Structures are given as C-alpha cells and as structure tokens.
Amino acid sequence: MNWNPNMKMTAFFFSMLMTMLPSGVVLGQQKPTTGYAPVNGLKLYYEIHGSGEPVVLLHGAFMAISNNFHWTEWIGELSKTRKVIAIEMQGHGRTADTGRDFTYDNLADDVAALLDHLKIARADLIGYSLGGGVALNCAIRHPDKVRNVVSISAVFRHDGWTKEGLDAFPHLTAEAFKGTPIEADYKRLSPTPNEFPNFVKRVISIDLKPHDFGADKLKGTKAPMFFIHGDADGVRLDYIAETFRLKGGEVHGDMRPRSASRLAILPDTTHVTLMNRWQTIVPMVNDFLDAKPSKQ
C-alpha cells in the first residue's frame, strides 16, 4: 500500500498514538521541586525529582512532561538514584512561547542556560525525538556542560528521517490533534490556551527547515552517546549506522577497545511504540550512565 501523507492519515495516526499516552503521576512518586528559569527571554518551566547526579529530560515535539510517552515512569525509575530535571521547552506545557524562532540552536542554548541557572556544571541529557535532537546539538554547542547523551529516535541531520516522514511534515496541522491529550494538555497548561493552532504551526516549522548539525562536529564531541531506535521508527537505517560510526562504532569489540558510545535497535518497534518499551530501555540507559569513563 502506498503511503499518502494527507490530513486524514496524519489525523488518524496522531489520534491513535495519543490513546497510548499515560496520564497522572506514578504512585509513590515524591512531589517535585518546580520553578521557572529566566533563560534567553523565556520563563522555562522545570521540575526536579530525586537527588544524585543530574540528568535532564527533553520531551518530544508538541508534548509536555505529563504527556511525553511514559515520561512519568522514566522519572520514577531514574529519580531513585539521580537528580532528574524535566523541562518544558519553548511554547510547550507551562513555558510560554515568544516571538523567537523555533530552532535546534535556540532550544539547545536554553538547556545550557538552565544548567547555569541551577548552578549545575555538567549533566547527562536524555531526549526523545525533538528532544533527542536538542540533546545532540547541546553536546556540540556546549560540550563542557554535557557528560553523556541518550538520543531516542532523533536525528542530527534533516535527511536522517525516511522520505515518507519528511513528506508528512508539511501536512501536519492542529486538526490532527483534535480531541487528543496533546490538545487538552496544551489548553490546560499553557499560559496562552487559545493559541494551539499557532503552536502546532510554530513547532512543525523546525521540521520544515532542513537542519544539519555537522557530521564532523558530532564526531568531535567528547560526550559518549547512546543512540536508541526502533527498527521501524522513521529514521533511515543507513543514517543510524553512519551516526554510530561517527562516535566510534562498528569495531570488533573482542579484538580492540570499544567506543564509549552505544547503539540499541529494538525489533518490531516504531517511533511511537518505542517509548512503550521503557521497561527494557531504562535499565540500559542506567547502565550506560553508570559506566566508568574508559582510560585513553
């Protein structure tokens, strides 16, 4: 069957995936410390859960802390041993939009500024989709602030997405989210609850402008990276292999030292269902973040 990225198909897809979103707070989870950080002209909303080494969670496009797939479960597990800082990026959730363009550079700079505001010298970054791209770019633009990166179904270059995914982006409008938790949470949380159609238009603009953080720049980053994908998550498999090679992958690990970076591709898994595999992924992420730096 040929994929036709029209409005009806896009609306059906997003209506389906929104039914998979959890709601509410994980039972037994402690009430977080919350605040708004004045960074780069924004009042950036954040929550802090637990204590220990800091890790920043970066949600996907159109989402918030409460409705990023299984984010509450991630927070519940990670905060057992870490200080988890969950944020809501420009225009998302409780963070009001401004006239500033939506760009990966701006969003990455906001993460670095938040760490400065919280007086955190370095942190691990975990990002899903849009958030994963922001995490990768932050490691390039602010290398001294990033210890490790976990990039979940994200790309550093626009053409990392499959052609059918790229073809669908221009057809995405607020109508696709009608009646979904994403629309409801925006209206419940946002300082501008009536601006949802404009919000969708603003956010999708980041995917309508080709971006490329630079293969050489990614290769030159010091932070170990864990790339996590589904085998059908809308990211080209040759791009995934290229990215892992840039970070030292594709070696015979029994014959010479392995890269500090890692790759996981989960079977029978899409961009949406990937985050439903959190019970498999979170232990792998903890193991990656706990790994001792290799001696060079």
Mean per-residue pLDDT, 224-235 = 97
Mean per-residue pLDDT, 258-284 = 94
Mean per-residue pLDDT, 192-220 = 95
The answer on pLDDT for 24 being more than 50 is no
Is the CB of residue 288 less than 8 Å from the CB of residue 166?
A: no
Which uninterrupted H or E stretch holds 44?
strand 42-49
Query: What's the predicted TM-score (pTM) here?
Result: 0.91
CA distance 53 to 162: 36
pLDDT at position 203 is 95
Which uninterrupted H or E stretch holds 228?
strand 225-232
Q: Provide the CA 119 distance to its chain's centre, in angstroms.
A: 23
The answer on pLDDT for 20 being more than 60 is no
pLDDT at position 92 is 97
pLDDT at position 16 is 47
The answer on pLDDT for 25 being more than 60 is no
The answer on pLDDT for 134 being more than 70 is yes
Is the CB of residue 209 less than 8 Å from the CB of residue 133?
A: no
pLDDT in tens, 163-183: 998 998 999 999 989 988 899
The answer on pLDDT for 188 being more than 60 is yes
Is the CB of residue 175 less than 8 Å from the CB of residue 11?
A: yes
CB neighbourhood size of 152 (10 A): 26
User: What does DSSP assign to residue 293?
Assistant: P
β-strand 42-49 against 33-39: which pairing, if any?
antiparallel
Burial status of residue 78 (CB atoms within 10 A of its CB: 0-12, 13-18, 19 or more):
buried
pLDDT at position 30 is 74
Non-local (6+) Cβ contacts of 146 within 8 A are 122, 123, 124, 125, 135, 138, 139, 221, 223
Mean per-residue pLDDT, 201-210 = 92
Q: How sure is the predictor about 294, in pLDDT bands with cuts at 50, 70 and 90?
A: low
pLDDT at position 253 is 83
DSSP 160-215: GB-HHHHHHGGG--GGGGTTSHHHHHHHHH-SSGGGHHHHHHHHHHHHHS--B--H
**Mean pLDDT, the chain, whole residue set:** 89
CA distance 289 to 266: 19
Tokens found for residue 15: 């209506």
CA distance 201 to 174: 8
Mean per-residue pLDDT, 69-82 = 91
**77-86, 161-170, 244-253, range with greatest mean pLDDT:** 77-86
CB neighbourhood size of 88 (10 A): 23
pLDDT at position 26 is 43
pLDDT at position 293 is 64
Q: What whole-number percentage of the chain has pLDDT above 70? A: 89
Instruction: Name which of 13-22, 84-93, 163-172 the model is least confident about.
Output: 13-22
Q: How sure is the predictor about 68, in pLDDT bands with cuts at 50, 70 and 90?
A: confident
pLDDT at position 29 is 58
Instruction: Name which of 18-22, 86-90, 290-294 the model is least confident about.
Output: 18-22
